[in-house]
Amino acid sequence: MNIFNIAFMEIKRDFRDVRHLLFMLAFPIVLMLVLGTALSNAFTTAIPIKNVDVLYKDTSTTGEFSKYFQEFIKGTKKSGIHFKKAASSTNGQNEVKRNHYDGYIMIEDSGIKLYINEGNSVEGSVIQGMLSSFVDKYNVSSEVAKIAPSQVKEVFLASSHDDYIKDTSISSNKQPGSMDYYAIAMTTMIALYAAMSSSKLISGERIRKTADRLIIAPISKLEIFIGKILGSIVANFLCIIAIVYFSKFFFKANWGSNLWLVFIVLLTEVLLSISLGLVVSYLTKSNASVRVIIMIVVQLSSFFGGAYFKLGDTSGILKFITQLSPLTWSNTAITKIIYANDLSAAFPAFIFNLGLSLVFLLVASISLQRREGL
């Protein structure tokens, strides 16, 4: 019962600290909004194609091919491909070189010649594929005309369409957008900041001159230790839950269908952060040193864990350093849970977070028992 009373008092103390509460809630939400909006282009893999401009010149003497080509031009207008007839004095190749057009088509009695702008490879591929389709269709209609001239029109109408540009994804795995990424990154980062408040769990009692009162009370040091840790875990984890649901409903961030498992990963990270703050507070003598050490650890972990920008594929010494960051473990696990539905990805994060937490708590508890007071 003493443990729960101490935990309850610690929760109330954390929520009465308005400055700390605003930092834990407002700081990640503001960063999430700013970075998620400003760096949205860094997370898109789509290549936008608005309009494709094609210049053409018809010097053929037979009008049959030109007639079908004009019908073809009319059909492509709906799909954003625009054809313009060149004047007789216009040098179409120079127009393409100057980037005025994406392609240039010359229609002659001997056939069709196509010149494309190598700088616009995507648009050039669209023109080439579209023109090849038309020529194939025309060749088929020519053969049909020899047997059944009345069916020539049906050849073109049967396969006419407006969607000349069509995308098909080979990989079905979803990828996080900028807001999805920073919703995860900012949440795991602020969970690591719990080390700042936990560093004052015991030292704060000494600063407030209440440590002696706790020692003479009929409460063991272990009960005080467990109660304070439990209260800090609940207070910080409630902030994490609020951030997750805020980003989910207001920023429309994707947290997947296994949110319970995501929360377990975040809970283990909160435990790691609190145990880190405790062990640092016991191993250093000055409160100023505690804040500096924790801030350095948190900032380095955030930087190499991809909190501020996506690191991508790393190798060598950089990969080794990124793997040391607790944010790397948690972010990787949460991302795989959400986007690959890989529930087993949570176990490495569990092992690392809980393993280090137990080591830190063991060192902190031994240091506590060796002290005369708290």
Kindly list the structural domains of the chain, giving each domain's residue range(s) and its CATH number in brackets, ordered by start.
2-44+175-370 (no CATH), 52-158 (3.40.190)
The answer on pLDDT for 202 being more than 70 is: yes
Q: CB burial class (10 A; 0-12, 13-18, 19+) of residue 112?
A: middle
Mean pLDDT of 275-288: 86
Mean pLDDT of 283-297: 85
* Positions of E strands within 244-305: none
Enter the pTM of the model: 0.68
**Is pLDDT of 111 > 80?**
no
Buried b (16+ CB within 10 A) or exposed e, 210-220: ebeebeeeeee
Cβ atoms < 10 Å from Cβ of 297: 18
Position with higher pLDDT, 305 vs 314: 305
The mean per-residue pLDDT over the stretch 84-109 comes to 81
pLDDT at 172 over 50: no
- Local structure of 106: helix, strand or coil: strand
E-only strand ranges, the chain? 52-58, 81-85, 103-108, 111-116
**Is the model's pLDDT at 241 over the cut of 90?**
yes
User: Which structure tokens are listed for 290?
Assistant: 């505690």
DSSP 230: H
Give pLDDT, residue 170. Answer: 46
Q: Give dist(CA 198, CA 203) in Å, integer.
A: 9
Q: Tell how strand 111-116 and strand 103-108 pair up.
A: antiparallel
- What amino acid occupies position 78? K
Around 232, how many Cα atoms within 13 Å sit in the side-chain half-sphere? 30
- N-term to C-term CA, the chain: 20
